[in-house]
Amino acid sequence: MSSPSSKTFDCVQSMRRIRDEISAEIADMTYDELARWLRTRQYSDPFLQQLAEKAAQRADAADRPAAGR
């Protein structure tokens, strides 16, 4: 086994910090506020951004009354 090297970036610590920041930001939001918050997020990963946009479109479609029913 090799000896442990000193880390310049701790992924787990970073993930926990970000998760705690997000949890604090959304802690007191209602469902509608949380849904609006999620829809306004911009993702750096194009695939995640595309998924978020599709989910928003489906939610918008579900909120509209169906035509001809």
* DSSP 8-state assignment for residue 67: T
What is the per-residue pLDDT for 69? 54
Output the pLDDT for position 59. Answer: 78
Digitized pLDDT (tens) for each residue of the chain, 69 residues in all: 666 668 799 999 999 999 999 999 999 999 999 988 888 888 899 999 999 888 888 877 777 776 655
> What is the per-residue burial (b if ≥16 Cβ within 10 Å, else e) of 37-64?
eeeeeeeeeeeeeeebeeeeeeeeeeee
Per DSSP, the three-state class of 66 is coil
How far apart, in whole angstroms, are the C-alpha atoms of residue 40 and residue 36? 6
Two tokens, residue 54? 């599709």
